[in-house]
Amino acid sequence: MDTKKGEIIPKVLIVEDQVLIAADLAMQIKSFGFNVVGFVATGEAAIATLEQQKVDIVLMDINLASDLTGIETVTKINAIAAPLIIYLTANTDDQTFEAARLTKPFSFIGKPFKKKNIERTLLLAKAHLSEQSPSIEELPISTPTDKTIFVRENQQMVRIHIDDILYIQADRSYCDIFTKEKKYSLSMSLKALTEKVDLPQFQRVHRSYVVNIAHIEKLTDYEILFGKTHIPISKTYKDTLMKRLNLIR
């Protein structure tokens, strides 16, 4: 499949414990115009890959012959990154499907694989990723001199003082900015927002949350409390957060 000039090529990781199947799958996916960053046979190797490089799409075999099942691996991946998950499975029982569904995958591809199903699913995933990448017009306007940003609300541009933001919550392709007075919803990913706007006083504490450390008044070992809102602290970001808070025990 030809790739248009300037078009983003999604990076795909294959997690499949049968090497011949993984290799064949990689060849097919490359022929569809995707960038296969590699294929691994265990959940542990998949997590290590996600910690070292950006991956857009993960094709995950549910029944891995490793210490971690595919579903357990995805649960751990979701704590450190936010790729689109496509499960590869021959299981059709309700219990397996329900357990997988709770990890919020993008889709499922049944075994044995059909080339057309793989291609169509990946093209849908690629379209979804494109929608997550905001155009210049959709990005908040940053004015570094007075530490404010402008966001779109009801066909208007509204100024928000960065110091007034308590935290930002992500939901894959969207994110919400919370101040003491109001919530502002943006049709862009948290990653895109943090790359566009300089937020030095903010700290990521979970894959879905970035908090303004200047507003933290109460926390436990597992969560930050903003009034009645409880924000989880993941193990991945806990040490960095504690160092920035000048914690005295």
Q: Mean pLDDT across the stretch 145-158?
A: 75
Say if residue 167 is in the same domain as residue 78: no
Q: For residue 103, which phi and psi values (nearest 5 degrees)?
A: -85, 0
Higher pLDDT, 91 or 167: 167
Query: Given this model, what pLDDT does residue 172 score?
Result: 67
CATH of the domain at 117: 3.40.50.2300
Closest CA to 189 of 6, 72, 56, 46: 56
The one-letter code for the residue type at 86 is I
Cα separation, 64 vs 43, in Å, equals 7
Tell me the per-residue pLDDT of 96-116, one tens digit each, with 9 for 90 and over. Answer: 888 998 888 999 998 888 999
Say if residue 180 is in the same domain as residue 126: no
pTM for the predicted model, two decimal places: 0.58
- How many other CB atoms sit within 10 Å of the CB of residue 236? 16
Cα radius of gyration rounded to whole Å, the chain: 20
Cα separation, 70 vs 109, in Å, equals 14
CATH of the domain at 169: 2.40.50.1020
Say if residue 65 is in the same domain as residue 169: no
Please indicate, yes or no, if residue 215 is contained in any of the structural domains. yes
> Which residues sit opposite 85 in a β-bridge?
58
* Residue 200, pLDDT above cutoff 80: yes
Say if residue 177 is in the same domain as residue 100: no
Query: Given this model, what pLDDT does residue 116 score?
Result: 92
> Which residues sit opposite 229 in a β-bridge?
226
* Residue 143, pLDDT above cutoff 60: no
Q: Mean pLDDT across the stretch 64-90?
A: 88
Please indicate, yes or no, if residue 3 is contained in any of the structural domains. no
Please indicate, yes or no, if residue 228 is contained in any of the structural domains. yes
Cα separation, 71 vs 102, in Å, equals 9
Cα separation, 28 vs 34, in Å, equals 9
Closest CA to 31 of 116, 88, 124: 116
Say if residue 127 is in the same domain as residue 152: no
* Residue 25, pLDDT above cutoff 90: yes
Q: How confident is the model at residue 32 (pLDDT cuts 50, 70, 90)?
A: very high
* Residue 185, pLDDT above cutoff 50: yes
Task: Decide which of 85, 116, 132 is a domain's last residue.
Answer: 132
How many domains in the chain? 2
Instruction: Name the residue range of residue 51's domain.
Output: 11-132
Query: Given this model, what pLDDT does residue 155 score?
Result: 63
Query: Given this model, what pLDDT does residue 86 score?
Result: 95
Q: Is the bond leading into 105 cis (omega within 30 degrees of zero)?
A: no
Closest CA to 193 of 233, 147, 134: 134
Question: Which residue in the block uniquely carries the two structure tokens 């998949």?
Answer: 46
Task: Decide which of 72, 106, 132 is a domain's last residue.
Answer: 132
Say if residue 96 is in the same domain as residue 198: no
Higher pLDDT, 2 or 180: 180
33: left (phi over 0), alpha (psi -120 to 50) or beta: left
* Residue 60, pLDDT above cutoff 60: yes
- How many other CB atoms sit within 10 Å of the CB of residue 120? 14
Please indicate, yes or no, if residue 6 is contained in any of the structural domains. no
Cα separation, 169 vs 117, in Å, equals 33
